[in-house]
Amino acid sequence: MSFELSGRLQALPPYLFVEIDKAKRKARQEGRDIIDLGIGDPDQPTPRFIIDSLYQAAQNPSNHRYALDQGMPALRTAIAGWYDRRFAVKLDPDTEVLPLIGSKEGIAHFPLAYINPGDYSLVPDPCYPPYKGGTIFAGGKPYLMPLLAENQFLPDLKKIPATVLKKARLLYVNYPNNPTGAVCDGKFYRQILAFARKHKLIVISDLAYSEMSYDGYQPMSMLEVDGARDCVIEFHSHSKTYNMTGWRVGWACGNKALVAALGKVKSNIDSGIFSAIQVAAVSALESDQEHVRSMSRLYQERRDALVDGLNGLGWKVQKPRATFYIWAGIPGGRKSIDFAADVLARADIVITPGVGFGAAGEGYVRFALTVDKARMKEAVTRLRAIL
């Protein structure tokens, strides 16, 4: 028997990272020495003190039961405390913080709370794929806002048609940005807030990369801007900050009505984060953050090794001030999928084609800084041989 997929599922593009993983596994099965600069998954282990906290919490049988949908009070309080120390933003842990099974699930589920069939989400292009996928699953339409180099990879809000704005409900913002590595400032956030108020939009701020920054730069939270809590829900995660991608723990915070609406969606879908993981997440947030600082130093060394090496090949590449991604225009104007496939076939290096993040990503590839400096230099050597 065969069954027809739903229209929503058929509307989704192939999930980029699944396709990359297939090609990578095939190459490794052939015995090739692959340098993986594709998916943004930290190569360093989760800090030992976090693992020890999980181990201790897992010994307690009370942590083996269903978790509260709203998350442990201790975790919500730790998140609020971290926001206060990091951004001087004070959050009510009871009403303005919601733990998530990784920020991805919250970002993907949030449109279910506010999007009706035919409504628009204003989505950056290129972007993290769940912005589009979550909108489509909710029956909405992504309206793509190109992020272009000449505009510092910021969206041009003036180019959004009035007909779209009349039916728009959500506006996605992601700085520091995946995949471009671009950053923004308070002036940009204030422009976004003014635009959102004018058009009655909910702003979704994805802040997953705020703790990966270089050269003295410190990213800010959109919630630092006066009035942001009128219409902003912000997402953050332990994944990149604490090398906990597989643990699946993150959070949403900000406007209490938006947080409550996402909580209502989640209460009908999942049963919360494993309680022992929540205890470990608290230990990460309440630590001295030296791990976070040391990882930024490590990624900065890798960034410099890769970007200096690429520029030495005649490739014009900028050093990002945040994230652990390098967004590089492709020499010779080749298509990104063809170029990435050629690099894998001839140099045994996995990189991500920019078009996989959206049409405006065509002409670029993304490198993830997820191998050590020696392998970065080896990658440059291999690229020199094929370029």
Residue 52's pLDDT is 98
Residue 184's pLDDT is 97
pLDDT surpasses 70 at 314: yes
Query: Hey, what are 266's tokens?
Result: 């989640």
Euclidean distance between CA atoms 260 and 97, whole angstroms: 9
pLDDT surpasses 70 at 16: no
DSSP-based three-state secondary structure for 228: helix
Q: E-assigned strands of 68-201?
A: 97-100, 120-125, 141-146, 168-173
pLDDT surpasses 80 at 21: no
Euclidean distance between CA atoms 253 and 223, whole angstroms: 9
Query: Hey, what are 81's tokens?
Result: 């405390």
Give the other-Cβ count within 10 Å of 370's Cβ: 21
Average pLDDT over residues 234-262: 98
Asked if residue 1 belongs to a domain, the reply is no
Same domain for 171 and 197, yes or no, is yes
Q: Is 17 exposed, middle or buried (0-12, 13-18, 19+ CB in 10 A)?
A: middle
Euclidean distance between CA atoms 299 and 211, whole angstroms: 11
Residue 188's pLDDT is 98
Residue 307, domain CATH: 3.90.1150.10
* Residue 203: domain span: 49-285
Asked if residue 354 belongs to a domain, the reply is yes
Residue at which a domain ends, from 235, 270, 285:
285
Residue at which a domain ends, from 239, 263, 285:
285
Asked if residue 225 belongs to a domain, the reply is yes
Residue in 337, 331, 370 with CA at minimum distance from that of residue 353: 337
What is the value of pTM for the model shown? 0.95
Same domain for 77 and 131, yes or no, is yes
Residue 223's pLDDT is 98
Residue 10's pLDDT is 87
Same domain for 29 and 84, yes or no, is no
Average pLDDT over residues 124-132: 96
CB burial string 329-368: b at 16+ within 10 A, e below: bbeeeeebeebbeebbeebbbbbbbbbbbbebbbbbbbbb
pLDDT surpasses 80 at 383: yes
pLDDT surpasses 80 at 19: no
If one compares 29 and 83, the residue with the highest pLDDT of the two is: 83
Average pLDDT over residues 7-17: 77
Same domain for 226 and 322, yes or no, is no
Residue in 174, 162, 126 with CA at minimum distance from that of residue 146: 126
Task: Give, for 326, the enclosing helix (H) or strand (E).
Answer: strand 325-329
pLDDT tens-digit map of 359-371: 999 999 999 999 9
Residue at which a domain ends, from 285, 308, 334:
285
Asked if residue 2 belongs to a domain, the reply is no
Residue 144, domain CATH: 3.40.640.10
How much helix, strand and coil, in percent to the nearest 5, is found in the chain? 50, 15, 35
pLDDT surpasses 80 at 276: yes
DSSP-based three-state secondary structure for 386: helix
pLDDT tens-digit map of 187-206: 999 999 999 999 999 999 99
Asked if residue 138 belongs to a domain, the reply is yes
Residue 117's pLDDT is 95
Q: 2-16, 30-44, 64-78, 133-147: which has the minimum mean pLDDT?
A: 2-16
Euclidean distance between CA atoms 215 and 105, whole angstroms: 32
Same domain for 243 and 95, yes or no, is yes
Helix 373-386 and helix 336-347, axial crossing angle in degrees, nearest 10: 100
pLDDT tens-digit map of 346-359: 999 999 999 999 99
Average pLDDT over residues 266-283: 96
Residue 15's pLDDT is 67
Q: For the chain, give the mean pLDDT.
A: 95
Residue 18's pLDDT is 73
